[in-house]
């Protein structure tokens, strides 16, 4: 089985693949202070709960935006399973990720994985909206090239900034208030943040289409995608496992190239 690990600033998503089938998926909080031993203990608990033995893991692929945890997860793969985790980068993706980007090395691993999976799954052109700590928008043009994208503060990031700076505003659950005109402070905040995010994404995607000169399929992923995507006029698909799928495709591509 392939262990796919997507380490974000807020959450870490882990998946176990049997071939192309995602057999298990977990979303856990990212703790940047965790040691490799602590990560091993957490991973063991997840696998035991799913009744998956250590011997079943024979490959690992990793996308991480937290450099310290990149090294620790690689250490976990070596110590626990005796394997080297494949780190997702633009260079590792090779011809799966054609781009004219000025400095491909600076493209985040999650952005690379999203682009690889989106093009393979939905074709080109395609736009990915990844709702995480940051809201990332990735653009793959009609020639299948990664054209670039947009990085903006994510929903929770914006909300936490508001709550930390406005002493009279308490943190609330960020859900659809079903009204654009808030009848309470809670509804007013929800309308501003949740509807504001959906409309911001729609506006940015329209700008992308205008610059490309044509429309594209729009796919959403990330932890907050199920909340925001239904409120968007531009998002057509929600794919919770898009990043993990990209890691699987990258791993299979590299394994084939080595044969």
Chain CA centroid to CA 242, Å:
7
- Helix, strand or coil for residue 111? helix
The catalytically annotated residue of 51, 100, 110, 143 is: 110
Q: In terms of Cα–Cα distance, which of 76, 116, 74, 70 is closest to 92?
A: 116
Strands 126-131 and 2-7: unpaired
Q: Where are the alpha helices (DSSP H) in 79-154?
A: 90-93, 109-122
CA angle 246, 17, 117 (to 5 degrees): 15
Judging by beta carbons within 10 Å of its beta carbon (0-12, 13-18, 19+), is residue 162 exposed, middle or buried? Answer: middle
Catalytic, 110? Answer: yes
115 in Cβ contact with 128 (< 8 Å): yes
First to last CA, the chain: 19
Q: Would you name the residues annotated as active-site residues?
A: 110
């Amino acid at each position: 089985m392939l262990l796919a690990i997507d380490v974000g600033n807020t959450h870490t998503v882990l998946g176990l693949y049997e071939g192309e089938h995602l057999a298990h998926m977990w979303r856990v909080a990212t703790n940047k202070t965790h040691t490799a031993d602590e990560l091993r203990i957490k991973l063991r608990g997840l696998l035991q709960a799913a009744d998956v033995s250590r011997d079943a893991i024979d490959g690992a692929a990793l996308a991480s935006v937290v450099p310290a945890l990149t090294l620790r997860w690689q250490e976990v793969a070596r110590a626990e399973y005796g394997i080297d985790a494949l780190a997702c980068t633009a260079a590792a993706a090779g011809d799966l990720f054609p781009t004219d980007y000025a400095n491909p090395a600076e493209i985040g691993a999650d952005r690379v994985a999203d682009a690889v999976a989106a093009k393979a799954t939905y074709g080109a052109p395609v736009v990915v909206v990844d709702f995480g700590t940051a809201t990332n928008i990735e653009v793959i043009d009609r020639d299948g090239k990664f054209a670039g994208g947009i990085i903006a503060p994510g929903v929770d990031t914006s909300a936490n900034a508001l709550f930390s700076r406005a002493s009279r505003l308490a943190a609330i659950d960020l859900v659809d208030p079903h009204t654009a005109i808030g009848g309470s402070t809670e509804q007013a905040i929800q309308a501003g943040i949740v509807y504001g995010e959906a409309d911001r994404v729609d506006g940015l995607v329209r700008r992308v289409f205008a610059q490309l000169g044509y429309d594209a399929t729009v796919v959403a992923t990330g932890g907050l995608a199920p909340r925001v995507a239904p409120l968007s006029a531009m998002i057509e698909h929600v794919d919770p496992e898009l990043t993990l799928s990209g890691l699987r495709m990258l791993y299979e591509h590299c394994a084939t190239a080595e044969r």
